[in-house]
Amino acid sequence: MGFVSKFVALVFLWGLTAGTALAQQKIAIGGTPNSGPATAMVAETEGIFQKHGLETTYTLITINPSIPPALLAGSLQIGIPTPTTFLQAVDGGLDLVVIAGVADNSKDNPLQIVVRKDSPIKQPKDLAGKKFGVPGLNAVLHVMTRHWLAQQGVDPKSVNFVEAVFPVHGDMLRSGQIDAVITVDPFATTILSRGDGVLLADIMSSFPSGNPNQMYVTTRDYATKNTAVVTAFRAAIEDAAAFIAANPDKTRQDVGKILKLPPPAIANLILPTVDTKVTKEQLTFWIDVMQKQNMLSHPIDPAKLLF
């Protein structure tokens, strides 16, 4: 093979290698349909990820417990599970790590229990024996509801919990498939404004503010092998957080675009309390709550879960 031929061959091979390297910057991000991960939605819609060299696809996942298996299978590179889903996956042997924070629980972001408008349920004790929808069994809203019920003197085991994905909460209440549901914005506002249900309680007041309700997570293997991607992702999330603080109305439009919300829901959307960091102490809070509910089988060191 002559020099020119060798050179052409090397350039061709380099092109293939470079193409592979660039392809590795493509990341699939997945979370359930709610406004909490506004930083990722804004970063994708406003081109912030692209500015940091990342080609992203934001995928809506039906229920939270589906996120860890998707990470393990490689269909997602970054998932957005709740802390309880994440910790149960870790407890089950999955080697996952937190790479950034999403949002924290806050009194400004209500967690609303809604019942059918013709319901006989008027107080917490009336939930015993009723069918109660949660967006993911053992996900954070399920865990928080059980915690709240116990505080109200109601045995959580007396309530029949069933999975109910966010977008159909109103339909399930209206059709009588469920008697009550724990939901968040924009779905809570839509349910109440349409008259599909009435508010029973906002359980957020029963919990301390400042603990994460969702987190950006990946496998330890992916994070270790793709540190540049993780660094770029974090930088993009920080930029998106700054954008949200400065542009709340545009943020609502961006979130609404990804969640496919109607204009009235977008206009009334309550934005999350963004927190781009997760600490050992925050994870410890959720570990303690889960241990009290006998959800964990092994000791977990929160410090080892932060990448």
pLDDT tens track for 164-180: 999 999 999 999 999 99
Q: What is the arrangement of strands in the sheet containing 26-31, beginning at the earlier edge strand? A: 55-60, 26-31, 78-79, 212-219, 96-104, 273-274
pLDDT of 205 reads 83
- Fold category of 112-206 in CATH: D-Maltodextrin-Binding Protein; domain 2 (3.40.190)
Q: Give the burial string for 34-61 (b: 16+ CB within 10 Å, else e).
A: bbbbbbbbbbbbbebbeebebebebeeb
Calculate helix-pair angle for 280-292, 140-151, nearest 10 degrees: 60
pLDDT of 222 reads 98
Q: Is the pTM of this model over 0.95?
A: no
C-beta of residue 213 within 8 angstroms of C-beta of residue 105: yes
First to last CA, the chain: 48
CATH code for the structural domain at 3-105+211-305: 3.40.190.10
Who's near 12: CB < 8 A, 6+ residues apart?
Answer: none
What is the three-state SS of the chain? CCHHHHHHHHHHHHHHHHHHHHHCCEEEEEECCCCCCHHHHHHHHCCHHHHCCCEEEEEECCCHHHHHHHHHHCCCCEECCCHHHHHHHHHCCCCEEEEEEEEECCCCCCCEEEEECCCCCCCHHHHCCCEEEECCCCCHHHHHHHHHHHHCCCCHHHCEEEECCHHHHHHHHHHCCCCEEEECCCHHHHHHHHCCEEEEEEHHHHCCCCCEEEEEEEEHHHHHHCHHHHHHHHHHHHHHHHHHHHCHHHHHHHHHHHHCCCHHHHHCCCCCEECCCCCHHHHHHHHHHHHHCCCCCCCCCHHHHEC
Mean pLDDT of each 10-residue bin along the chain, 307 residues long: 35 37 73 96 98 97 95 98 97 98 91 94 97 93 95 97 94 96 90 93 89 97 97 98 98 97 90 97 96 96 98
pLDDT of 13 reads 38
pLDDT of 157 reads 96
pLDDT of 4 reads 33
pLDDT of 108 reads 85
Closest CA to 76 of 91, 66, 87, 62: 66
Residue that the structure tokens 């589906």 belong to: 66
Q: How many CA atoms lie within 13 A of 248 on its CB side?
A: 9
pLDDT tens track for 181-225: 999 988 898 899 889 999 999 999 888 889 999 999 999 999 999
What is the Cα–Cα distance from 137 to 197, expressed in whole angstroms?
Answer: 22
- Domain segments of the chain: what residues? 3-105+211-305, 112-206
